[in-house]
């Protein structure tokens, strides 16, 4: 047995934890750049406490946006980058911190569609403060960027990009709108299920996934229907953190393999795409395992997931699929067609998904016709 586990240098979790942010920032530098998302007003008082340069991210990060942000950081003489926002703001800040010190164009370093050049110079110190409960980006070593010219999302990735501090304060999620609660929460659940059945799963991520799936199963429906449920908000923030820890060290699978090309070509939230795909990706994997690898340990893992989700000791793998389908219906998850994707687009999406880095950790390789069946069912 051999595995590696890497994460943020320091994780601070708890209600009110953001009170320590100004002091934490000063330990890394005197001239911070604060990267914020679309809901800047929710964190205005926190941002103002930092007396910093600011850079706003209006949507999911792109190669062009990172070019602009890195130049802004250099021109302003910033020596630390702080992201306060959802996954888009955190990924943008992570990439800006890396490109600001390494120079060059982001495409030189991007996987799949870029040159994949290694990040060789330590990025500016980076602090991640999530305001949603879903992406887990505060503890990952990559930043997902959209490339308009390639019509795909791909990662800028390096162990050097792990945040110096992940500051997770559930209070920042208290006012999340219902739709964002649903999308980000289902992304968190996906990022616990996929690493648990991944070809790169290991004993350390297994324990994290089991705990996280249980938390999300109990809390997500509750917090969707009652955003004021503070215990459920806390549990979803923890589940999101656990998902980030798991995916960074065990990989993902078919759902995220599709989310990359879909998110790169259509203006749809990442979590919404994962939510639309999750039950169909689970079903395809279970069918393929039963057909071609009936002794594969991932089959029992899918049964274990079903027991965690349903709370029933007699649950089987198919019961987990049914539970996720019901949850998606309860949370009003739209099919892929709701985001402007047409049926004619699907074969091209399959070709891009087959080459996505996330697909490489799927528990069993899926044929093109199986991939087409997944995305068609989600459409």
Query: Is residue 1 situated within a structural domain?
Result: no
Domain containing 364 — which CATH number? 1.20.1090.10
Query: Is residue 76 situated within a structural domain?
Result: yes
The pLDDT of residue 9 is above 80 = yes
Query: Is residue 4 situated within a structural domain?
Result: no
Query: Is residue 242 situated within a structural domain?
Result: yes
The pLDDT of residue 41 is above 80 = no
The pLDDT of residue 260 is above 80 = yes
pLDDT digits (tens, 9 = 90+) for 200-239: 999 999 999 999 999 999 999 999 999 999 999 999 999 9
56 and 151 inside one domain: yes
pLDDT at 308: 98
Q: How confident is the model at residue 277 (pLDDT cuts 50, 70, 90)?
A: very high
352 and 272 inside one domain: yes
For the segment 66-82, the average pLDDT, to the nearest whole number, is 96
155 and 182 inside one domain: no
For the segment 154-174, the average pLDDT, to the nearest whole number, is 95
Question: How many angstroms separate the CA atoms of 31 and 56, rounded?
Answer: 17
283 and 136 inside one domain: no
154 and 262 inside one domain: no
The residue among 325, 312, 7, 371 whose CA lies nearest residue 165 is 7
pLDDT digits (tens, 9 = 90+) for 134-152: 999 999 999 999 887 787 7
The pLDDT of residue 42 is above 80 = no
Domain containing 121 — which CATH number? 3.40.50.1970
Which position has the higher pLDDT, 264 or 226? 226
- Please indicate, yes or no, whether the overall pTM of this predicted structure exceeds 0.85: yes
Query: Is residue 30 situated within a structural domain?
Result: yes
For the segment 60-75, the average pLDDT, to the nearest whole number, is 94
The residue among 25, 32, 107 whose CA lies nearest residue 65 is 107
The pLDDT of residue 46 is above 90 = no
Q: How confident is the model at residue 90 (pLDDT cuts 50, 70, 90)?
A: very high
53 and 140 inside one domain: yes
Contact call for residues 95 and 57 (beta carbons, < 8 A): no
Q: How confident is the model at residue 60 (pLDDT cuts 50, 70, 90)?
A: confident
Q: How many CB atoms lie within 10 A of CB 88?
A: 27
* Residue 340 burial by Cβ neighbours in a 10 Å radius (0-12, 13-18, 19+): exposed
Question: How many angstroms separate the CA atoms of 70 and 104, rounded?
Answer: 10
221 and 354 inside one domain: yes
Residues forming a β-bridge with 167: 12
264 and 153 inside one domain: no
148 and 209 inside one domain: no
Instruction: Give the number of domains in the chain.
Output: 2
* Containing structural domain, residue 269: 178-378
Boundary residue ending a domain (149, 172, 195): 172
Contact call for residues 98 and 123 (beta carbons, < 8 A): yes
Question: How many angstroms separate the CA atoms of 333 and 280, rounded?
Answer: 13
Boundary residue ending a domain (135, 155, 172): 172
pLDDT at 146: 85
- Average pLDDT score, the chain: 95
pLDDT digits (tens, 9 = 90+) for 338-353: 999 999 999 999 999 9
284 and 319 inside one domain: yes
Pair type for strands 32-36 and 11-13: unpaired
CB burial of 179-215 (b: ≥16 within 10 Å; e: otherwise) equals bbbbbbbbbbbbbbbbbbbbeebbeebbebbbebbbb
Query: Is residue 155 situated within a structural domain?
Result: yes
84 and 216 inside one domain: no
Q: How many CB atoms lie within 10 A of CB 348?
A: 12
Query: Is residue 5 situated within a structural domain?
Result: no
Boundary residue ending a domain (155, 172, 189): 172
The pLDDT of residue 259 is above 80 = yes
For the segment 303-320, the average pLDDT, to the nearest whole number, is 98
Query: Is residue 135 situated within a structural domain?
Result: yes
36 and 182 inside one domain: no
pLDDT at 132: 95
């Amino acid at each position: 047995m051999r595995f590696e586990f890497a994460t943020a240098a320091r994780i601070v979790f708890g209600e009110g934890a953001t009170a320590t942010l100004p002091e934490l920032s000063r330990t890394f530098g005197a001239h911070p750049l604060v990267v914020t998302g679309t809901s800047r007003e929710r964190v205005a008082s926190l941002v103002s406490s930092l007396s910093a340069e600011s850079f706003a991210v209006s949507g999911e990060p792109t190669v062009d946006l990172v070019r602009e942000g890195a130049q802004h950081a250099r021109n302003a003489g910033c020596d630390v980058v702080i992201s306060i926002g959802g996954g888009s703001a955190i990924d943008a800040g992570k990439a800006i911190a890396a490109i600001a010190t390494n120079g060059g164009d982001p495409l030189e370093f991007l996987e799949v569609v870029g040159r994949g050049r290694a990040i060789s110079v330590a990025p500016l110190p980076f602090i991640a403060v999530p305001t949603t409960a879903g992406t887990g980006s505060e503890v990952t070593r990559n930043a997902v960027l959209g490339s308009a010219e390639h019509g795909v999302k791909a990662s800028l990735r390096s162990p050097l990009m792990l945040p110096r501090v992940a500051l997770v304060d559930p209070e920042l999620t208290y006012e999340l709108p219902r739709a964002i609660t649903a999308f980000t929460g289902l992304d968190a659940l996906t990022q616990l299920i996929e690493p648990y059945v991944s070809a790169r799963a290991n004993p350390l991520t297994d324990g994290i996934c089991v705990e996280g799936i249980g938390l999300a199963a109990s809390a997500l429906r509750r917090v969707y229907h009652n955003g004021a449920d503070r215990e459920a908000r806390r549990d979803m923030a923890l589940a999101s953190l656990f998902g980030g820890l798991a995916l960074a060290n065990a990989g993902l699978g078919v759902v995220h393999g599709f989310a990359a090309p879909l998110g790169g070509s259509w203006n749809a939230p990442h979590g919404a795409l994962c939510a639309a795909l999750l039950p169909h990706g689970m079903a395809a994997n279970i069918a393929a395992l039963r057909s071609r690898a009936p002794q594969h340990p991932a089959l029992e893992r899918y049964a274990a997931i079903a027991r965690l989700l349903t709370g029933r000791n007699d649950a089987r793998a198919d019961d987990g699929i049914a539970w996720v389908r019901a949850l998606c219906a309860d949370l009003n998850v739209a099919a892929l067609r709701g985001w402007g994707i047409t049926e004619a687009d699907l074969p091209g999406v399959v070709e891009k998904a087959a080459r996505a880095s996330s697909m490489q950790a799927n528990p069993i390789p899926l044929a093109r016709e199986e991939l087409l069946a997944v995305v068609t069912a989600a459409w």
